[in-house]
Amino acid sequence: MNLLNADLHCHSVVSDGTLQPEALAHRAKANGVELWALTDHDEIDGQLRAADAARAIGLDYLSGCEISVSFAGVTVHIVGLGFDAEDRALRQGLAATRGGRGERAREMAAELAKAGIQGVYEGALRHAGNPALIARTHIARYLVEIGVCADTHEVFRRFLTSGRPGYVPHRWAALGDAVRWINEAGGLAVIAHPGRYGFTPNEEYALFTEFIAHGGRGVEVITGSHTTADYLKYADMALEFDLLASRGSDFHSPQESHTDLGALPDLPGRLTPVWSALQHRVQRA
């Protein structure tokens, strides 16, 4: 079961990916993925399209999303899997979470204008497949388009991260709310790419214990955002905290992502995969 090629984390044009849900389904299948989830940021409008496309090509599917949460002053991402995509409270919670994104983008554009870069809001909006979901990624693509930076990673390094011009702090959902929305919609909550947050050991312990206290059950161990050392560290933490382990590329774009759909190491054999607890939620092809 651990050797299943599951890819339970990626993005479409419904958030900040560059491919349509149908194109992602085909790419996942072509890459040998056996169980797939589309996990757009704060938005589940691509779920029906993703599930239909997966079914049409014989690919098992789990519903998915990636919720932005503020925890200890840092943005943390919580992946939800296997929920009912029609659940009203989940839909309302996600709508509230994405609600501030337009205003935030305008504020980031105003900061970048002060740094001499004009037209950022309008430019980023042109890159956004979903105007309700304008992300830093779209601003980054606009800055690459106009030649300010060579690639999106350079944009994040120079502009869109804490302490840099163009960064605007933002208040996302509360951890407990995000976990509750997912659980009450019949899904399972997973801490996304824990290796990315730069927490101290104490802060990380607080995140894991509070997440579990709220009813969270899984952690991403194998993700495109982790180093080999992170794989080992979070495999150990999954065991220590008795969490189910997840696996996902976090694929956004053929041009930008270094990890393709399904192109990940297997989940270590000593871990229990999240999909073992989600068999009843899998939409079988």
CB of 56 to ligand AMP, least distance (A): 27
What is the rounded end-to-end Cα distance, in angstroms, of the chain?
18
| Stretch 246-285 residues interacting with ligand AMP (CB under 6 A) | 252
CB of 73 to ligand AMP, least distance (A): 14
Q: Binds 153, which of Mn ion, ligand AMP, none (CB < 5 to 8 A, cut-off by type)? A: ligand AMP
| Stretch 59-88 residues interacting with ligand AMP (CB under 6 A) | 68
Among 12, 152, 223, 257, binds ligand AMP (CB under 6 A): 152
Complex with ligand AMP: residue 214 or 252, whichever CB lies closer:
252
Q: Binds 94, which of ligand AMP, Mn ion, none (CB < 5 to 8 A, cut-off by type)? A: none
Burial of 205 (0-12, 13-18, 19+ CB in 10 A): middle
Tokens of 44: 């589940």
DSSP 175-238: HHHHHHHHHHTT-EEEE--GGGS---HHHHHHHHHHHHHTT--EEEEEETT--HHHHHHHHHHH
CB of 162 to Mn ion, least distance (A): 16
Complex with ligand AMP: residue 11 or 29, whichever CB lies closer:
11
The label of the residue with tokens 């519903």 reads 63
β-strands 74-81, 64-71 pairing: antiparallel
- The span from the CA of 144 to the CA of 151, in Å, is 6
Q: Provide, for the chain, the percentages of residues in helix, strand and coil under a 3-state DSSP scheme, each rounded to the nearest 5.
A: 40, 15, 45
Q: Is 153 in the site for ligand AMP (CB under 6 A)?
A: yes
Q: Binds 156, which of ligand AMP, Mn ion, none (CB < 5 to 8 A, cut-off by type)? A: ligand AMP
* Interacting span for ligand AMP (CB under 6 A) from 115-123, 150-158, 175-183, 214-222: 150-158
CB of 267 to ligand AMP, least distance (A): 22
| Stretch 38-57 residues interacting with ligand AMP (CB under 6 A) | 41
Q: What number of residues does the chain have?
A: 285
Complex with ligand AMP: residue 128 or 278, whichever CB lies closer:
128
Q: Binds 98, which of ligand AMP, Mn ion, none (CB < 5 to 8 A, cut-off by type)? A: none
β-strands 35-36, 6-7 pairing: parallel
| Stretch 88-127 residues interacting with ligand AMP (CB under 6 A) | none
CB of 187 to ligand AMP, least distance (A): 20
DSSP 41: B
Binding stretches for Mn ion (CB under 5 A): 16, 66, 77, 192, 250
8 A C-beta contact, residue 131 and residue 11:
no
CB of 46 to Mn ion, least distance (A): 13
8 A C-beta contact, residue 268 and residue 34:
no
Closest CA to 64 of 182, 211, 221: 182
Binding site for ligand AMP (CB under 6 A): 16, 41, 68, 135-137, 152-153, 156, 252
